[in-house]
Amino acid sequence: MGRRQNDSDFGRFALLALLFIGTISCSAVYIFLTVVFSPVNESLPSVEEVEGPKEGQCCSGIEHLELWGDAVKWGSEFMLNSSEECCMACKRMCTGEGGSCLCNSWVYCGDREACGPRFGECWLKKQKDALNPDRRASGDLVMWTSGFVFDKDEGIVGMETDYGIVRIKLFPECAPHSVAYILELLALPHCAGCQIHRAESRGNFWDLEGNHIKKTPCGPPYALIQGILDSYGMFKDIPKEYCPIIRRGSVAWVGSGPEFFISLAGHEEWRNSYTVFGNVLSEDMEILEKISQLPTKSEIWNNIKMSILENPVSLRFRRMNT
């Protein structure tokens, strides 16, 4: 004999229904982000949603790396509680008004067991070449954590294309692993395999400043330039780093790389999903706008229309005179 459904049963059924709806919604968001940035030859790794630090507040380094250089403050006489404090001490030696920082790199001993009596030492250093730091040692046996600091007009590299040089301001304090890799590419005479293969304009959905126009969709087109930064297979997955809201000019990894994209517009709908390691100088955005207008062919990825360049645009990094 059946039994009548009571209020407790109803509550349980309602809870199950809400959980089911929530699961479907999360799945839909994940699928959308994966489709938007699916590389041409491989599927995207899963994208975790993380809350990034507020701009100007992040200060981090690379573990198991020791940078060399002239000491401007000796660690044996300067003990701090964390690598973040060491990084901030270096940043405070930058005027913020352009020019060269008095300190452009730092080294901290934060492993209590490995460092022993040197635990807490913070060495503030001055690299002779900020874009080619002197690496003394790296690897799991290295007890030091190191990082870079650039002043306002420092840390700008050029991404050279056939349509002009796009200058990018790097964020070493917020995305040190990413910036260290870009500096490796900068040291190469060529960047074989580095290219832009996807170009989508702002269409009628974003204005000239990259602001989304109300009551319009967020693509396609998705207002972005996408490509790959891997030369001779030297790329290694980069951990999740600084993940702010994507703005016009943001340079970010797709997942853990080496696919990357530069946004031509603000994408608040993507929230804090992508590691941003630099920003294009505003006056150079017109070069990317030009690339977004190049001939493309339509491809359908997971029922989403994508614009793939008929002729990929080769690129390499170069130093800029500041």
Residue 26, token pair as written in the block: 């999360």
The structure's pTM equals: 0.81
Alpha-helical runs (H) found in 3-70: 7-36
% of the chain with per-residue pLDDT over 70: 81
Mean pLDDT of 183-206: 91
What integer pLDDT is reported at residue 108 of this predicted model?
98
Mean pLDDT of 280-285: 96
Is residue 34 within 8 A of residue 42, CB to CB? The reply is no
Mean pLDDT of 264-277: 90
Mean pLDDT (the chain) is: 83
Residues counted in the chain: 322
Question: pLDDT (tens digit, 9 = 90+) per residue, 2-60?
Answer: 223 344 444 444 444 444 444 444 444 444 445 455 544 433 332 233 333 454 578 99
Inter-CA distances, 215 with 204, 209, 244, 304, 313, Å: 11, 17, 24, 20, 33
- For the chain, domains (ranges, CATH) are 62-148 (3.50.4.10), 155-319 (2.40.100.10)
Residue 163, token pair as written in the block: 């349509």
* Confidence at 272, pLDDT banded by 50, 70, 90: confident
Least confident of 85-89, 97-101, 141-145: 97-101
Residue 181, token pair as written in the block: 């890799």
